[in-house]
Amino acid sequence: MAKPNILVVDDDPSLAMTIVMSLEAEGYPVTETGSAEGAIQILAEGSFPIVISDIYMGEKTGLDVLHRAKALNPDGAVILMSGKGSIETVMEATRGGAFEYLAKPFSIDRLMQAVRGAEAALRESHARAPKEYEPESAMVGHSAPMVELYKFIAKVAPTDTTVLVRGETGCGKEMVAQLLHRGSLRAKARFVVVDCAALHQGSLLESELFGAVKGAYTGADRDRVGLFEAAAGGTVFLDEIGEIDPGFQLRLLRFLQEKEIRPVGSTVTRKVDVRVIAATNKDLEKLTREGTFREDLWYRMGAAAIELPPLRQRREDIPLLVERFISEFTASSGRPMHVSDSAMKLLVEYSWPGNVRQLRSFIERLVILASLNVIDAAAVRAGLPAESPLAAAPAAAPRAPESLSDAEDEHIKRVLAACNGNKTKASEILGIERKTLYRKLERMGL
Ligand SMILES: Nc1ncnc2c1ncn2[C@@H]1O[C@H](COP(=O)(O)OP(=O)(O)OP(=O)(O)O)[C@@H](O)[C@H]1O
Ligand SMILES: [Mg+2]
């Protein structure tokens, strides 16, 4: 991400110049103005993710700049400075969503620290931007395992306990982490997602989470605020925790115990107040037995662990989810859409290896493709990958690599067995003509 544009607003030319020069030395593109009116004008013309403004400058104040900047860009960061801070101005600044409030005089270092914090916050909100999180998007499902889950969330959310959310891909782990955050006293602070799989190389993850000081590694041309610090007061969600390497597991364990960070290359440790929620679709007990996941870390995180049931184990929730997704995907068009009974039956019977996410994107596709106001069985059947009658059977032991024709022979044999040797039925399931099946059986010597 390129350095964000910064707007500096101060009627004191010498202070403004010091700030501008320090920012430019760090590589930020800076625009400067001496009045709130000027700032409001400039904000209307360009994009300034970070605004640094004095408060008392004339008729209009830095608080007006704050309100305008936030109205134009709610995710932007406004840093206010004032020599006459009062409880009223601080309160108004806080209510208006100011990122930081600096009492004059302050050191330039202090300001730079605030700017870096703001930049880390922007990077974070930027990274999350494509995902949509509406607070009203509550979890859907009335099945017994879901009710157990709601009870767990209600009990554990208000605490500061580290939580481990387990479950297959797409079954709602991140959603649960969100709910745990929103149900806590930290709800107003940030929820920061860290994809450990994408950063699984220990050193990357370390500087991402703990921060790094300038010069700590090649390319570290300035201090970098870690996500644990950027999320102070809030929650950090460590997704795919099973992917982190053993060296980093130890650092993470220490962090969970002490809640202290030491940026890469620094000798100073600092306390931070964050709650950690982790998620994995891996079998951590197994990884622990195999020695790739530290047992002590597993104990530490497993204290409050919740296992999300796969969708196929709570099929009674499928109609509810289908209705929810239909209304979600028809909301913009306003076109009502109905699912026929036989189509719903197919949806309920399918095994959904990709769980709720797969169901959701499948419904999205059906809604887009539907030419009428009804989703019928034919549409569902056409869209779902075929499941052989045996697909639901327990997974066989991993097989050695085999050629396509071997796999085909195997599959034909299994389908034939499942149909008690009825070749007409088998050819239907296989989607081939009966005579083709005969030919293949002949080749196989059957
Ligand atoms: N119970 C539910 N009610 C409504 N929507 C749900 C529910 N569970 C999951 N979803 C939706 O399904 C999608 C996948 O959920 P989520 O991202 O939380 O899964 P995940 O377990 O984190 O998946 P992955 O392992 O792939 O990261 C999201 O769009 C989410 O909103
Ligand atoms: Mg996830």
pLDDT tens-digit readout, 225-238: 889 998 999 999 99
328 vs 371: CA distance, rounded Å: 18
404 vs 191: CA distance, rounded Å: 47
Alpha-carbon 286 to chain mean position: 25
Cα of 173 to ligand 1 centre, how many Å? Answer: 6
**Tell me, what's the pLDDT at 306?**
94
Residues 44-47: contacts with CB under 8 Å, at least 24 apart:
44/72, 46/5, 47/5, 47/73
9 vs 54: CA distance, rounded Å: 6
Residue 324, CB-side half-sphere exposure with 13 Å CA sphere? 16
CB 301 within 8 A of CB 164: yes
CA nearest neighbour of 52 among 10, 104, 1: 10
Q: Is 175 close to ligand 1, i.e. is its CB under 6 Å away? A: yes
**Tell me, what's the pLDDT at 126?**
66
- Parallel, antiparallel or unpaired: strands 270-271 and 100-103: unpaired
CA nearest neighbour of 288 among 300, 279, 280, 296: 296
Q: Is 172 close to ligand 1, i.e. is its CB under 6 Å away? A: yes
* Assigned CATH topology for domain 404-443: Arc Repressor Mutant, subunit A (1.10.10)
Question: What residues of the chain score a pLDDT lower than 50?
Answer: 129-136, 388-399
- Parallel, antiparallel or unpaired: strands 163-166 and 305-307: parallel
In CATH, the number for domain 6-128 is: 3.40.50.2300
Q: Whose CA is nearest to atom 13 of ligand 1?
A: 357
Instruction: Please tell me what DSSP assigns to residue 264.
Output: B
Smallest-distance ligand from the CA of 170: 1
346 CB contacts (<8 Å, ≥6 apart)? 377, 380, 381, 384
Q: Is 320 close to ligand 1, i.e. is its CB under 6 Å away? A: no
Q: Which residues surround ligand 2, an ion (CB under 5 A)?
A: 174
In the chain, CATH 1.10.10.60 covers 404-443
Pocket probe mutation, ligand 1, options 173, 356, 364, max atoms within 8 Å of Cβ = 356
Q: Strand 30-33's sheet: what is its strand order?
A: 30-33, 6-9, 50-54, 77-82, 100-103
Q: Does domain 311-383 have CATH number 1.10.8.60?
A: yes
CA nearest neighbour of 222 among 5, 17, 23, 32: 23
Cα of 419 to ligand 2 centre, how many Å? Answer: 39
Question: Which amino acid belongs to residue 141?
Answer: G
- For residue 277, report the phi and psi dihedrals to the nearest 5 degrees: -120, 130
Pocket probe mutation, ligand 1, options 134, 357, 360, 361, max atoms within 8 Å of Cβ = 357
**Tell me, what's the pLDDT at 178?**
94
Looking from the CA of residue 170, the nearest atom of ligand 1 is 23
- The crossing angle, in degrees rounded to 10, of helices 318-330 and 341-349 is 120
Q: Is 50 close to ligand 1, i.e. is its CB under 6 Å away? A: no
Vertex 205: Cα angle to 215 and 274 (nearest 5): 105
- Parallel, antiparallel or unpaired: strands 270-271 and 191-195: unpaired
Please name the helix (run of DSSP H) or strand (run of DSSP E) that holds residue 210, with its range, or none: helix 202-210
CB 270 within 8 A of CB 255: no
436 CB contacts (<8 Å, ≥6 apart)? 427
Integer-rounded Cα Rg, in Å, for the chain is 28
Q: Is 171 close to ligand 1, i.e. is its CB under 6 Å away? A: yes
Cα of 170 to ligand 2 centre, how many Å? Answer: 7
In the chain, CATH 3.40.50.300 covers 145-307
Q: Distances from the Cα of 407 to the Cαs of 413, 426, 434, in angstroms?
A: 10, 16, 19
Cα of 175 to ligand 2 centre, how many Å? Answer: 8
CB 348 within 8 A of CB 313: no
- The crossing angle, in degrees rounded to 10, of helices 318-330 and 355-369 is 50
78 vs 365: CA distance, rounded Å: 41
DSSP alpha helices (H): ranges in 238-388?
246-258, 284-290, 295-302, 318-330, 341-349, 355-369, 377-383
CB 66 within 8 A of CB 39: no
Looking from the CA of residue 176, the nearest atom of ligand 1 is 18
66 vs 43: CA distance, rounded Å: 11
CA nearest neighbour of 371 among 363, 361, 379, 383: 379
In the chain, CATH 1.10.8.60 covers 311-383
Cα dihedral 36, 40, 41, 42, rounded to 10, equals: 100
Quote the tokens at residue 357: 């996410």
**Tell me, what's the pLDDT at 160?**
93
Pocket probe mutation, ligand 1, options 174, 179, 315, 361, max atoms within 8 Å of Cβ = 174
Q: Distances from the Cα of 4 to the Cαs of 123, 181, 284, 379, in angstroms?
A: 10, 29, 40, 47
Q: Is 139 close to ligand 1, i.e. is its CB under 6 Å away? A: yes
Q: Is 166 close to ligand 1, i.e. is its CB under 6 Å away? A: no
Pocket probe mutation, ligand 1, options 137, 163, 169, 175, max atoms within 8 Å of Cβ = 175
Q: Per residue, what are the HEC states of 165-201? A: EECCCCCCHHHHHHHHHHCCCCCCCCEEEEECCCCCC
Quote the tokens at residue 173: 């782990």
Q: Is 180 close to ligand 1, i.e. is its CB under 6 Å away? A: no
What CATH architecture applies to the domain 145-307?
Answer: 3-Layer(aba) Sandwich (3.40)
CB 343 within 8 A of CB 377: yes
**Tell me, what's the pLDDT at 394?**
41
**Tell me, what's the pLDDT at 397?**
41
**Tens-place pLDDT, residues 376-392:** 999 999 988 776 444 44
Q: Is 173 close to ligand 1, i.e. is its CB under 6 Å away? A: yes
Q: Whose CA is nearest to atom 15 of ligand 1?
A: 172
Instruction: Please tell me what DSSP assigns to residue 385.
Output: P
